[in-house]
Amino acid sequence: MAAFISIGVLSLFVGILFVLSPETLRRLNDLSMAMVSALDKKAFKYRMGLGITMIIASLLFFFVAYYISVKG
């Protein structure tokens, strides 16, 4: 269950960055380029759709974590 919550938080954070502050995400990408592969330029081209999709995915992860804790 902790994994679902962690993935949900990460997805929500990145989704909000895609929608509200893509420049911050670009700077984070530049900092992490040596450690992790670079984000594709198309991700920034379709940033609104990708950001909203990631926010919806994070809500799904939160729901699954809640459902597992209730039905557990």
Helices within 1-72 (DSSP H only) = 2-20, 22-32, 41-45, 47-71
Question: pLDDT higher for 8 or 72?
Answer: 8
pLDDT tens, position by position, 52-67:
999 999 999 999 999 9
Residue 36: pLDDT above 70? no
Summary mean pLDDT of the chain: 85
Q: Is the confidence at residue 12, as pLDDT, over 60? A: yes
pLDDT-based confidence at 37, cuts 50/70/90? low
Q: pTM here?
A: 0.64
- In angstroms, rounded to a whole number, what is the distance separating the alpha carbons of residues 12 and 7? 8
